[in-house]
């Protein structure tokens, strides 16, 4: 059974701090790892990581994947109150687009990030 | 935002009654998914569809059925609602291009009394 574990489960910081969120996984056939942000509504896509060691960056957010050690981290620098959200990690199984297993994501429990002013 | 809507957005029902939730997309995407979200569990896949009339079970499919008679609509039915099915339900869609990610609908809050 595929398994995704996120840590910490919750985190409280002050504006300007840097945070690191962790995601470890055990997946039979790995294709990619995805990060989503959820703010009291639908999850919104942040990053998709497929290759080890290649950092993906978007503004103050960045993420990297280690396929040997089976984990990913999501970094947020200079946090703002608007970063307060649940951050979800998910893994996607190998399979070709058009295949029946395509897109069967397994999610972690999420990390609740609270940023105080 | 991807063109996904869910209806109803909120529903209160009683134990034992059937409930149908609707997911509608305007993106013409092949893949559609139903998830439930509960505290401490993240998102868990209930059922998914890989084409019209092609569906399969996910991780937590007991007590749920789905139907997809046309590309744009994916229905989730709770055959006889139980209090354990109180949850927030999200629909997601995904295209076929390699690397395509999933886009989520706004969610439906269901309370089973």
How far, in Å, CA of B3 to CA of B93, rounded? Answer: 9
Q: Under an 8 A CB cutoff, do A104 and B54 touch?
A: no
CB atoms within 10 A of CB B41: 15
How far A43 CA lies from chain B's nearest CA (Å)? Answer: 6
Q: Find out whether A1 and A104 touch, Cβ atoms under 8 Å.
A: no
Interval B33-90: pLDDT, tens: 999 999 888 899 999 998 899 999 998 999 999 999 999 999 999 999 999 999 999 9
Q: Which domains does chain A have, with CATH numbers?
A: 3-116 (2.60.40.10)
On chain A, the residues whose CB falls within 8 A of the CB of B96 are 97-98, 102
How far B15 CA lies from chain A's nearest CA (Å)? Answer: 26
How far, in Å, CA of B47 to CA of B55, rounded? Answer: 7
Q: Under an 8 A CB cutoff, do B100 and A42 touch?
A: no
**pLDDT attached to residue A28:** 82
Residue in chain B closest to A39 (alpha carbons) equals B106
Among B36, B39, B79, B85, which residue's Cα sits nearest to residue B59?
Answer: B36
Secondary structure percentages of chain A, helix, strand, coil, to 5: 5, 55, 40
Q: Under an 8 A CB cutoff, do B42 and A108 touch?
A: yes
- Which among A32, A88, A103 has CB closest to B31? A103
On chain A, the residues whose CB falls within 8 A of the CB of B94 are 102-103
List b or e across A95-117, with b for residues whose CB sees 16 or more CB atoms inside 10 angstroms.
eeeeeeebbbbbbbbbbebebee
Q: Under an 8 A CB cutoff, do A97 and B97 touch?
A: yes
What residues does B93 pair with on adjacent strands?
B32, B103
Q: Find out whether A105 and B102 touch, Cβ atoms under 8 Å.
A: yes
Of B41 and A116, which is predicted with more confidence?
A116
Q: Under an 8 A CB cutoff, do B106 and A42 touch?
A: yes
Q: Under an 8 A CB cutoff, do B58 and A41 touch?
A: no
What is the domain extent for residue B29? 4-112
Interval A61-89: pLDDT, tens: 999 999 999 999 999 999 999 999 999 99
Beta strands in A50-117 (DSSP E): 56-58, 61-66, 71-76, 85-93, 106-107, 111-116
Q: What mean pLDDT comes out for the span A11-31?
A: 94
**pLDDT attached to residue A98:** 56
Classified as helix, coil or strand, A82 is helix
Residue B11 touches partner A, C-beta closer than 8 Å: no
How far, in Å, CA of A52 to CA of A66, rounded? Answer: 5
pLDDT-derived band of residue A2, with 50, 70 and 90 as boundaries?
A: confident
Can you give the CATH number for the domain in which B45 is found? 2.60.40.10
**pLDDT attached to residue B90:** 97
**pLDDT attached to residue A95:** 67
List b or e across A65-82, with b for residues whose CB sees 16 or more CB atoms inside 10 angstroms.
beeeeebbbbebeebeee
Count of domains in chain B? Answer: 1
Q: Under an 8 A CB cutoff, do A45 and B90 touch?
A: no
Kindly state the DSSP code that residue A47 receives in the 8-state scheme.
Answer: E
């Amino acid at each position: 059974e595929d398994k995704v574990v996120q840590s910490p489960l919750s985190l409280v910081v002050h504006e300007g701090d840097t945070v690191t969120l962790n995601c470890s996984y055990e997946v039979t056939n790995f294709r990619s790892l995805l990060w989503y942000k959820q703010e009291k509504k639908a999850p919104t896509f942040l990053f998709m990581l497929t290759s080890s060691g290649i950092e993906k960056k978007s503004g103050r957010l960045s993420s990297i994947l280690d396929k040997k050690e089976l984990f990913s981290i999501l970094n947020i620098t200079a946090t703002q109150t608007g970063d307060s959200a649940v951050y979800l990690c998910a893994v996607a199984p190998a399979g070709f687009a058009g295949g029946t297993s395509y897109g069967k994501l397994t999610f972690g429990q999420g990390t609740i990030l609270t940023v105080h002013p | 935002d991807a063109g996904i809507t869910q209806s109803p957005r909120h529903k209160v029902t009683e134990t034992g009654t059937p409930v149908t939730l609707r997911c509608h997309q305007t993106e013409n995407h092949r893949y559609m998914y139903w998830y439930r979200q509960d505290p401490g569990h993240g998102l868990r896949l209930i059922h998914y569809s890989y084409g019209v009339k092609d569906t399969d079970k996910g991780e937590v499919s007991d007590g749920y059925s789905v139907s997809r008679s046309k590309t744009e609509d994916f229905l989730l039915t709770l055959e006889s609602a139980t209090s354990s099915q109180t949850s927030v339900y999200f629909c997601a869609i995904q295209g076929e291009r390699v690397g395509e990610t999933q886009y989520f609908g706004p969610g439906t809050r269901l309370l089973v009394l």
